[in-house]
Amino acid sequence: MPLFDYFRAPDADAVQRVMSASDGCSPMGEVFDGVDAKGIDPTVVLGTMVAAIRKVPWSPDLVEQKLVWPPGGEQDLDHEGPWVAELNTSARDVLAEAGDLPRVAQEWARIEELGGHLDVGDAQAFIETMVGLARRAREADELLYCWMSL
C-alpha cells in the first residue's frame, strides 16, 4: 500500500532542502507539522473529502499537485519514489474553512476507495486532523505538501 504523509512548510525550497538532507525520508513529525495518512492519496481520496466539504462532485482538479522533490523527478520515469508534491492553495483553504464535519464524515466514510464502510467516527477524526493542519498552514501562510512512497 502506498504511503502518504501530509505536512505544512513555508515553501518548496524548504521542502527540497529537508528532503535532500534526509535522503527522501518523510519530513513529517520531526521537521514539519503533519499528518500520517497511509492510503489517503491527494487526487482521489483527499479530493473526495474536498468535494464533500464543497458539496460538489469529485473531479481530479479539486486537489492539484506540483512535484517539488526530487528535482527533475517529472522527467525521471525510472524513479520509484519517494516524491513530494505541493498541493494547491484552494484545496488548503477549502479544508481550512470546512464546516459540518459530521455530514462530511458520513459522506466520505462511504467512498469506494476507503472500502465503502469506514467507521464514521474514524473518518471524522481524520477529517478534523486534516482540517487542523490546513488551518495551521493557512494561519502561518504556509502551503500543504504530500510526501508519497510506494
DSSP assignment of 66-78: EEEESTTTTT-TT
Among residues 117, 150, 123, 103, the alpha carbon closest in space to that of 46 is found at: 123
- Reported as a pLDDT band with limits 50, 70 and 90, residue 17 is very high
Q: What pLDDT is recorded for position 125?
A: 97
What range does the domain containing 19 cover? 3-149
Give the count of domains, the chain. 1
50-101 pLDDT, tens digit per residue, is 999 999 999 999 999 999 998 877 666 677 779 999 999 999 999 999 999 9
pLDDT for 19: 94
Q: What percent of the chain has pLDDT above 70?
A: 97
The one-letter amino acid code at 139 reads E
Q: Whole-angstrom Cα distance, residue 49 to residue 53?
A: 6
Chain centroid to CA 131: 11
- Helix spans in the chain (H): 12-21, 47-54, 89-96, 101-108, 120-139
pTM: 0.94
Over the chain, what is the mean pLDDT? Answer: 93
Grid cell digits, residue 147:
510526501
| CATH number assigned to the domain comprising residue 96 | 3.40.1760
SS3 content of the chain, % helix, strand, coil (to 5): 40, 20, 40
pLDDT on residue 77: 66
Phi, psi (rounded to 5 degrees) for 87: -95, 150
